[in-house]
Amino acid sequence: MPRDTITDLIHHGYQPPDGFESPAPGVFKASTVIFANTAALQSRDWRRKDGYTYGLHGTPTTFVLEERIATLEGGRQCVLLPSGLAAVAVVDLALLAPGDEVLLPANVYGPSRELARQELRRWGITHRLYDPLDAAALAALIGPQTKLLWIEAPGSVTMEFPDVAALARAARAKGVITALDNTWGAGLALRGFEHGIDIVMQALTKYPSGGGDVLMGSVVTQDAALHERIKLTHMRLGYGVAGNDTELVLRGLPTLAVRYAAQDHAGRALAHWLAARAEVARVLHPALPGSPGHAHWQAHCTQAAGLFSVLLDARYSLAQVHAFVDALRLFRIGYSWAGPVSLVVPYDLQAIREPGHGLEGHLVRLSIGLEAVADLQADLAQALAQAF
Ligand SMILES: *Cc1c(COP(=O)(O)O)cnc(C)c1O
């Protein structure tokens, strides 16, 4: 009996010729992975990366991105997650158990702290904040219950740059695992493993993607046993990434270094220009002398992300600060960063930091995109003139 056309549309005999190559790797998408026979089905172990079992466990496309991100960070193994925050969460959930404590820098990425405050707490895991600029004080904070130390270089929003190597040494001396949120460093300005870090996490959402159009996170390790702990939790929680999203990040990687350098160059030019403006009390950019932890940045990096904050003078009203932000035309108001469009967000220092941070004024964070620097500077100038 001839088969129905609909069946042929699903089980078609045509195979395209082998040997196709283009500059971009192919994009594979799957929930189901098809096995040749029962023996193949039964003998596959999803933990080995020499074959495929299920979409959640990886496709050629996700394996390719995993290897490239591991190379970028100078590590050996990588897991991918549907956001940077999910990457933070999988590290916490893989390594912490009831009764354990995690140490977070006082300037930690806000949602990472909320994760500790709300979710980890419900599982009997406590957290404490440490001063990222006081590596000497860290050893005294570490107790028998301390299992994980998060490091951010620089910290989110207030941009203090810690002595990464000294923090990693202090943790290692006490047997505490270190995890670096390397979203700012992007594996370019900073490579965590060279400074003694155990786990390097990144929001691929930011620089590696570069488009402002995809969310993804990565967790890279150098130690197979540590990777396996993270990978098992990753799998059990059902974290996977989609082929099309993976493709977007793969597409961004070839231009990562040139984008990073361009955004660094533009960011520093604008940071220096802003530092000389009367309206600006202080510029928080780790590559600028006088910024908190500048010496640590110099010891660890030569490059910087195109991301920094300014403290507008405390004599201005909040309404004036908001008028400044609202008057910007090229800088759009929005979270995230490292995309083509320059972004701006005003932050309430009192809401994001505990007292004692030593910063005064109204904080505004700028993410420098890929527009012409002169146009961005003109935009800042007209908005300052309007608001102050
Ligand atoms: C954006 C960001 C994250 C989270 O990434 P998402 O993909 O937006 O969840 C984590 N850490 C830092 C430092 C970030 O800037």
**Residue whose CA lies nearest to ligand 1 atom number 10:** 84
Where does the chain hold its CATH 3.90.1150.10 domain(s)? 256-387
Record: fold of 256-387: Aspartate Aminotransferase, domain 1 (3.90.1150)
**pLDDT tens, 226-276?**
999 999 999 999 999 999 999 999 999 999 999 999 999 999 999 999 999
Q: Is the pTM value of this prediction over 0.85?
A: yes
Mean pLDDT score of the chain, rounded to an integer?
A: 97
Going by the DSSP 8-state scheme, the letter that residue 2 receives in this structure is P
Residue 83 in contact with ligand 1 by CB distance below 6 A: yes
Q: How far is Cα 146 from Cα 380, in angstroms, rounded to an integer?
A: 45
**pLDDT tens, 303-355?**
999 999 999 999 999 999 999 999 999 999 999 999 999 999 999 999 999 99
Residue 209 in contact with ligand 1 by CB distance below 6 A: no
pLDDT tier at 1, thresholds 50, 70, 90: confident
Segment 147-166 shows an average pLDDT of 98
- What is the pLDDT at residue 288? 98
CA 117 to centroid of ligand 1, rounded, Å: 17
The amino acid at 323: A
**pLDDT tens, 9-58?**
999 999 999 999 999 888 999 999 999 999 999 998 888 888 999 999 99
Of 111, 69, 337, the residue nearest 207 (C-alpha): 337
Secondary-structure class of domain 38-253 per CATH? alpha beta
Q: What does the block give as tokens for 279?
A: 């309206």
Going by the DSSP 8-state scheme, the letter that residue 118 receives in this structure is I
Q: How far is Cα 331 from Cα 367, in angstroms, rounded to an integer?
A: 8
Where does the chain hold its CATH 3.40.640.10 domain(s)? 38-253
- What is the pLDDT at residue 378? 98
